[in-house]
Amino acid sequence: MSLFNVCSWWSAQCSDPGEEYDVASLLCARFGLETQEKDYIIVGSQTGQLSIYYPHSRGYDATDLLLESQMEAPIIGLYAGKFSGNVRNENANQLGVLLPNAIVIYNVVAIGGLAEHGTQLRLQVQTEHKFQRVSFGLCQGHFGQVKGREFFCVVHLDGTLTFFEQDGISYECRFPGHRALPAPVAYCERTDSFFRFSATWDLQCFSYQDLSHSLVTTSSYQPTWSQGVGEGIVDMRVVQVKENCSYIMILGERNFISLDDNGKFNFMLKLDYAPKCFTSFVVGYYWEPGARLISAIISDSSKLHLYEEANIIWAAQWPNQSPAPVAIQRSNVQNLAGAIVTLGARGQLDVGYLGADPFQFQVQPLNMEELSFAQAHKELQKLEDEIKEAVDVRDMDALNQQAADQVRLSFTIEQEANDDLDTLLLDVPADVAVKELPSAKGLLRCKIKAELAELQLVFQTPDGVRCSQDTVSFVNVPAGTSKEFKLDFYTAELLHIHSTKVEVVASFLSTRGIPRVIQQSANLPLSMFYRTCQPQKAAGIKLTYSITSRHVSPKLATFFGEFLEEQSDSHALGLQLLCPGLEKQSEVITVVAAKNSNRFRIQSDYVETFAMILERIVERTLQLDNSAGLIKMDKKKPKRGVLNRCVERLMAVPFLPAQPILHRIDVHHETQQSIRKQTDQLEDLWQQFKTLQRQLQEQSESEPKEALTMQIESNYDQLILEGDKLVEIRRDERKRRCDLNCAVALAKWIIHALNLEERVVNVVSSVLSVPIEDWTELSWEESMAPGIDMLHHFGPLTRSKSSSTHGLLDANAGTKDSFDYSRFRRHFATLFDRIVRLAASPVAVNIEKGKEETSTEEKPSPIQQVDEIGNMQRMLGEKGLPLVPPKRKSNMSSSLEAVEDDEEYDEEDLREDVGYRKEYGATDQKNPNNKKRSEWVNEDFELPTTEELFSDLGIWW
């Protein structure tokens, strides 16, 4: 065997020079346009560029390009076949173009040229099928062994198959198993079966009959046979070699494998190179005894290897092909039969043949330079520094500061609302545009100090508010670049809005590939969502805040400058919510400032009106206090026993409107249940519709079809009606979710200013996160249940210590298969009640006094009766108060908290007992040898680590 060059006969450069081509971007086919027709070469790029070539002679000519078109979406694959039954010419094929969310079938029509101008082609849309899932590939064939027409199925990224027939009937199915990797699916006409490569590297065979009778939701059938391949595959093809047998040719990552259609291995050839692509074909006719199976494989070094079954018969080098081609096919072009057509990753299209020009191999001279260990060590140290800079996240403050220095952002929003919004240019919905709601203008300045490979700016707005530019992306940004963006923020949906905060997130990649993210935020003006009205004297929900900071003036003009002048002495302000602007009721909130004290009263009959007002009061108070030179809230790590530092600036009266909040949760949960019920009903109707269609297709022409047709039409009308109902329920669910956002945000802003331990405030705030999210398989209530359950059973917000099983989960809590909403609601209400009772306790924490009188803690305390609130305060670490154990034996376990662990703990407190459970608590001072614990925590108020805590409880965290 000698190594030769592949001779180039015809070559062209496709219109898209980028790396936008893969194995499915090349197709050689005929369309039946003329009698002596040869193969057309069709190329489609992932940018949507479609080109059709028809080589006439050696060397490229301008008339060889017959069609060039730009598609609306990236081209996933190209296919040719008899996809339509409405074509008069039986020999004509249609062109199928697979897009991410659709497949379009075209008729290729020839237009004769004038004078020396050659023939041109034109595409006529025959049909278009759209689908919801993203496509990966396509498989075509005579499914069901139907003669004279071809069907095709689309393989999606999630493993679902969508079958399309010429009569317009389509249905979906899914392979069995929990996971399906995107991989080629091949069809064998002889056995009417499909071959699929599973996630466990097994080649599985499924009959078309099983697939056609399966559903998307249920796939209980099993494969006909399965064979382990043991590696990932590059491509797979089915070739019929004999009249009674077809071969499955598989190109693996390191092996070339062949099986027959019954799952028996023919051969497995180990390759000593990395393959890129391959094609297999039969020389002769498969029913003749002399038919030969030939396979052509291209390696990553641009070498072509030809095999006859498992024996290599030829090898040749592709000259001037770097990198290696990504697609190869055998074709019969004009004046060259059996040509080899290849396509490169950058669009290099080449038609060649196996010539006899020998390839002169020359050994490269060896580099005999002397190795410098000092230079090598210097380069190694430089690489280590770059790696450390990219992956070392121990000093996050320094990394964030470095990122802020590389990309400097300045984001501001004007505090005056505007009424000159161009609703047509910004595509504002008609129901919103007719209300003429105010808008706000913003400005973002971005200055890049270092060279960046990629930069993306994303504007995150609350639900119902939209920005004129949601996302902005840049590539190869040089250092010193300055960008300025003028933004418009406007109401796009008539929903209740829970926050005025708008965040801009800048994510970028340095030239060395190091990712960084920085963000800044600004607040929209309240005049964009409220307008002044007459204050109300009475309301159902009343909240009271006290301004405890001496740097903040307790005036309404300090917090609501959009509605009042700076020198205004008004003590009452009424605001009416503009959005959603209900006609039957006016959502009014009233803010009253006390004349002789520093208190505010906020009152309204509607929960949805409070969130933005409380956000403005709390954040404006903290902002004015921080600007006065005090320590910022996020610069001081909270410790045990430290009260919420927000109460030094602002304090709320302990009250939570539990019933209105729970009502919003009830309505949201009912909407979720309605969606699930409606979805199940739609699924049942869809299965009935498919069954009726299949019955109609299986009926003979002589049988009457009127009754079945009427059932199909009735079922279809019911399906459309129920689908419209589901759309309405989902629209209503979005409104209910926004209402719940406002209710949860109200609870968060109240708890944020309560007289509680700061760590408790942080934990509760992290559980009550907004905005809320609902998923297909999990609602917000179900995702919140574990966090609420933990707060219910552990920590200072737990129930009374009177039970000996305190601190442990319910015995049957973790064994329930379904979500118990009544239990979740009960725990939610109990959580609010305990927070209010704990915040209303008159006992204050004095840390300095506790530090000075540490010796008094070791003395036994007098016996007295304690209540539940006192027990909770002791859990907060009030060292200045005596610990009062109740009148019972001191062998009870202490309560366990689910808040943050301290940085250090006393190893002597972690004494092991029998089994895996550890006891935490102070030992008996009178009898140190007695290892039984008192009911209360140890004298230093230390906690076990999270791992020890949950391993003792026997649960997973």
pLDDT tens string 492-536: 999 999 999 999 999 999 888 888 899 999 999 999 999 999 999
pLDDT of residue 842: 60
**Average pLDDT of the residues in 653-681:** 93
| Residue 334 CA neighbour count, 13 Å, CB half | 14
**Average pLDDT of the residues in 187-194:** 90
Helices 821-839 and 780-793, axial angle in degrees (round to 10):
50
Residue 508 lies in a domain: yes
pLDDT of residue 289: 80
Q: Residue 458: exposed, middle, or buried by beta-carbon count in 10 A (0-12, 13-18, 19+)?
A: middle
CB 873 within 8 A of CB 834: no
Query: Looking at the structure, do residues 751 and 662 belong to the same domain, yes or no?
Result: yes
Distance CA(858)–CA(482), nearest Å, equals 64
Last residue of a domain, one of 505, 525, 545: 525
Reference 939, options 856, 858, 840, 872; nearest CA is 858
Distance CA(257)–CA(307), nearest Å, equals 12
Q: How confident is the model at residue 885 (pLDDT cuts 50, 70, 90)?
A: very low
Reference 78, options 28, 130, 145, 141; nearest CA is 28
Q: Is the pLDDT of residue 172 over 50?
A: yes
- Give one word for 148, left, alpha or beta, with left for phi > 0 and alpha for psi -120 to 50: left
CB 756 within 8 A of CB 835: yes
Residue 934 lies in a domain: no
Query: Looking at the structure, do residues 126 and 98 belong to the same domain, yes or no?
Result: yes
pLDDT of residue 641: 59
Q: Coil, strand or helix: which one is 797?
A: coil
pLDDT of residue 644: 78
The sheet with strand 202-207 has its strands ordered as: 185-188, 193-197, 202-207, 225-228
Distance CA(708)–CA(896), nearest Å, equals 66
Q: Is the pLDDT of residue 927 over 60?
A: no
pLDDT of residue 171: 79
Q: Is the pLDDT of residue 722 over 80?
A: yes
pLDDT of residue 855: 37
Residue 255 lies in a domain: no
Most confident of 353-362, 641-650, 932-941: 641-650
Residue 350 lies in a domain: no
Structure tokens at 723: 């689908």
Query: Looking at the structure, do residues 680 and 758 belong to the same domain, yes or no?
Result: yes
Query: Looking at the structure, do residues 789 and 668 belong to the same domain, yes or no?
Result: yes
Query: Looking at the structure, do residues 499 and 617 belong to the same domain, yes or no?
Result: no
Most confident of 246-250, 564-568, 756-760, 869-873: 246-250
Q: CA–CA distance from 625 to each of 255, 502, 621, 650 (Å)? A: 70, 22, 6, 10
Q: Residue 359 contacts by C-beta under 8 Å, 6 or more apart in sequence?
A: 3, 4, 5, 316, 317
**Average pLDDT of the residues in 274-296:** 88
CATH number where 501 lies: 2.60.40.1510
**Average pLDDT of the residues in 710-725:** 92
pLDDT of residue 581: 67
Distance CA(481)–CA(447), nearest Å, equals 6
Longest Cα–Cα distance in the chain: 116
pTM value surpassing 0.85:
no
- Report the run of H or E that residue 651 belongs to, with start and end: strand 650-652
Q: Is the pLDDT of residue 926 over 80?
A: no
pLDDT of residue 114: 59
Amino acid at position 24, single letter:
A
Per-residue pLDDT tens digits for 414-452:
988 888 888 888 888 888 888 889 999 999 999 999 999
Query: Looking at the structure, do residues 683 and 771 belong to the same domain, yes or no?
Result: yes
Query: Looking at the structure, do residues 663 and 785 belong to the same domain, yes or no?
Result: yes
Q: Is the pLDDT of residue 879 over 70?
A: no
Reference 869, options 801, 940, 938; nearest CA is 801
Q: Is the pLDDT of residue 636 over 70?
A: no
Per-residue pLDDT tens digits for 96-106:
999 999 999 99
Q: Percent of the chain beyond pLDDT 70?
A: 79
Query: Looking at the structure, do residues 514 and 545 belong to the same domain, yes or no?
Result: no
Q: Is the pLDDT of residue 489 over 90?
A: yes
Distance CA(184)–CA(278), nearest Å, equals 14
pLDDT of residue 852: 39
Distance CA(163)–CA(165), nearest Å, equals 7
Last residue of a domain, one of 112, 130, 148: 130
Q: Is the pLDDT of residue 340 over 50?
A: yes
Domain that holds residue 791: 658-698+707-797
Residue 330 lies in a domain: no
Per-residue pLDDT tens digits for 782-813:
988 888 888 887 766 665 444 433 444 444 44
Query: Looking at the structure, do residues 457 and 548 belong to the same domain, yes or no?
Result: no
Residue 742 lies in a domain: yes
Q: Is the pLDDT of residue 710 over 50?
A: yes
Residue 426 lies in a domain: no
Distance CA(26)–CA(46), nearest Å, equals 12
Distance CA(236)–CA(278), nearest Å, equals 9
pLDDT of residue 279: 93
Q: How confident is the model at residue 50 (pLDDT cuts 50, 70, 90)?
A: very high
Query: Looking at the structure, do residues 625 and 540 belong to the same domain, yes or no?
Result: yes
pLDDT of residue 443: 93
Distance CA(436)–CA(68), nearest Å, equals 47
Residue 195 lies in a domain: no
Query: Looking at the structure, do residues 513 and 568 belong to the same domain, yes or no?
Result: no
The total number of structural domains that make up the chain: 4
Q: Residue 895: exposed, middle, or buried by beta-carbon count in 10 A (0-12, 13-18, 19+)?
A: buried
Query: Looking at the structure, do residues 546 and 519 belong to the same domain, yes or no?
Result: no
Q: Is the pLDDT of residue 777 over 90?
A: no
934 or 180, greater pLDDT? 180
Q: Quote the DSSP letter at residue 757.
A: B
Q: Is the pLDDT of residue 946 over 50?
A: no
Let me know how many helices (H) and strands (E) the chain has, helices first. Answer: 14, 44
Lowest average pLDDT, out of 106-120, 378-392, 920-934, goes to 920-934
**Average pLDDT of the residues in 870-894:** 38
Q: Quote the DSSP letter at residue 302.
A: S
Q: How confident is the model at residue 877 (pLDDT cuts 50, 70, 90)?
A: very low
Per-residue pLDDT tens digits for 528-582:
999 999 999 888 999 999 998 888 888 888 899 889 887 778 889 999 998 886 6
Per-residue pLDDT tens digits for 839-850:
887 644 443 344
Q: Coil, strand or helix: which one is 874?
A: helix
pLDDT of residue 796: 65
Q: Residue 930 contacts by C-beta under 8 Å, 6 or more apart in sequence?
A: 923, 924
The CA-based dihedral angle spanning residues 434, 435, 438, 441, taken in that order and rounded to the nearest 10 degrees: -30
Q: Percent of the chain beyond pLDDT 90?
A: 32
Mean pLDDT of the chain: 79
Q: Is the pLDDT of residue 891 over 60?
A: no
Last residue of a domain, one of 498, 525, 552: 525
